[in-house]
Each structure stands twice: as C-alpha cells, then as structure tokens.
C-alpha cells in the first residue's frame, strides 16, 4: 500500500489552569493514497485534536507524524507550514471564513503565500474550486450572505484550492440540517470518485456517516481502534 499519512503512538495533552487533559494517548493510524477514512468518537474525546495533529496544524507531544514519507518533526515551523500548504486541505469544524472577504477571496486565501503560482493561476484555481462545490455563481457573496450549507461548501472549496493530496474534514455536517448535510457529503464523495488518489479523512460523531467510509476508526481513551465494516460486527 502507498502510505500518504501516518501517526505512530502519538500523544498530545493540554494543561489549563492546573488541570491536565490528554486527548491523545498513543494514537496510531496509517492512511494510503485514495483511502476514505472516518473517525468517530463522542464529543470531547479528542477528534479535533487528532485532526489538527494529522493536518500538521499542531505538533504532537510525543510520537511520529509522517506525511508523504516526511517525518514532520524534521521540519522547522516555516518548512512545515509551506509543506502543509501544498499537500493538505483542511475543513475546520466551524467553517472559519473571513466575513469581510468574498467567497472567492476566502477560497484563494491558502494560496496567498504560494510564490510558485501566478496571480492568474491562483484566481483560476479558486474559481475552479468554487465550481467543484457548485458555487460559481456565488463568488462575490460574503459568508454572511450565504446559507450554512453554502458556507460549508466555500470552506471545502478553500481546502480544494490547494489541490491537496489529503483532505481532512472536521464534522463537515455537524452544523447542518440532515438534508443539507447529505448534499455536502455527496459533494465530498463525488470529489473522491473523480480524484481516486485523494485521501479523505473525516471526523464525525454520526455513525451513519462514518459507515459510508471504506475504513472506520473509533477514538477511545486516546487511541484509535478499527471499527469492523458494516455487516462484520457491531452494526
């Protein structure tokens, strides 16, 4: 199998006001090119923390994070953020769109620091990403002029503008009604069908959503356990 992303015995904790929480206590996972992986766990179990470590937004306290064969601990913060900006697309739990910018500008944001692309290429990529989520006609809308589902699609387009090899999504349907959530999932799954090499990792507390993935894991006591595919066990 061709590994694109791996964690090996990753630990990550936080101390706030003398109180210690340790959401990740030896989490390991290997993701191959083209995999569609879901990770479930109740609220507060550490899913966002896990996704931030997978997405190289945070470094682990201990353990190894490997992206496309590179151990991230070998990279400076600056090199890591450059690397991240070319390989990983991240969709945050709460959209994180900038309200004073148009949808198109929001989508172009992760390309701001790319000196290997011309302004024209950046604009073309951003327009293409918006069309991939069906929002070409909303390029000039501000986030607050869009519905929740449309905002989530802009957030997905922003991750796609990078042309990532790995797409990470933190509860992509969590803030949406069921019907809108289903349409967002259709967009994600269509993308994956069109780009068979793209690895998609999706965090959710929705078991039905998780069951759609090819591989499913549960975050439990800081560690990842494979959940048997539908028909082989618990469901």
Considering CB distances under 5 to 8 angstroms, the limit depending on partner class, which of Mg ion, ligand ADP, none binds residue 143? none
For residues 164 and 89, is the Cβ–Cβ distance under 8 A? yes
Q: 182-215 burial, b if ≥16 CB within 10 A, otherwise e?
A: eebbebbeebbeebeebbbbbbbebeebbebbeb
Rounded distance between C-alpha atoms, residue 85 and residue 111, angstroms: 8
Site string for Mg ion, 11-50 (x = CB under 5 A): ------------------------------------xx--
Near ligand ADP by CB under 6 A: residue from 18, 44, 69, 233:
44
Rounded distance between C-alpha atoms, residue 60 and residue 73, angstroms: 9
Per CB under 5 A, 173 contacts Mg ion: no
Site string for ligand ADP, 47-86 (x = CB under 6 A): xxx-------------------------------------
For residues 5 and 61, is the Cβ–Cβ distance under 8 A? no
Considering CB distances under 5 to 8 angstroms, the limit depending on partner class, which of ligand ADP, Mg ion, none binds residue 21? ligand ADP
How many residues of this chain interact with ligand ADP, rule: CB under 6 A? Answer: 12
Near ligand ADP by CB under 6 A: residue from 10, 40, 45, 151:
45
For residues 152 and 35, is the Cβ–Cβ distance under 8 A? no
Q: 114: Cβ–Cβ under 8 A, 6 or more apart, which residues?
A: 85, 86, 122
Binding site for Mg ion (CB under 5 A): 47-48
Residues that bind ligand ADP in the complex, under the rule CB under 6 A: 14, 16, 21, 23, 41, 43-49
């Amino acid at each position: 199998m061709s590994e694109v992303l791996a964690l090996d015995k990753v630990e990550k904790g936080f101390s706030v006001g003398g109180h210690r929480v340790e959401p990740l206590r030896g989490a390991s996972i290997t993701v191959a090119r083209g995999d569609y992986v879901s990770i479930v766990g109740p609220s507060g179990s550490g899913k966002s923390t896990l996704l931030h470590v997978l997405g190289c937004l945070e470094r682990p306290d201990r353990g190894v994070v490997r992206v496309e064969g590179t151990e991230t601990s070998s990279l400076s913060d600056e090199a890591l953020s450059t690397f991240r900006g070319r390989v990983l697309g991240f969709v945050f739990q709460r959209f994180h769109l900038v309200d004073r910018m148009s949808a198109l500008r929001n989508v172009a944001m992760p390309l701001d620091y790319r000196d290997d692309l011309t302004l024209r290429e950046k604009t073309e990529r951003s327009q293409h990403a918006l069309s991939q989520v069906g929002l070409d006609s909303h390029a000039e809308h501000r986030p607050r002029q869009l519905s929740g589902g449309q905002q989530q699609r802009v957030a997905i387009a922003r991750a796609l503008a990078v042309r990532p090899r790995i797409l990470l999504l933190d509860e992509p349907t969590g803030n949406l009604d069921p019907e809108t959530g289903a349409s967002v999932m259709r967009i994600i799954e269509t993308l994956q069908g069109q780009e068979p090499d793209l690895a998609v990792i999706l965090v959710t507390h929705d078991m039905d959503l998780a069951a759609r993935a090819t591989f499913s894991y549960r975050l439990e006591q800081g560690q990842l356990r494979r959940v048997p595919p539908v028909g082989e066990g618990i469901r």
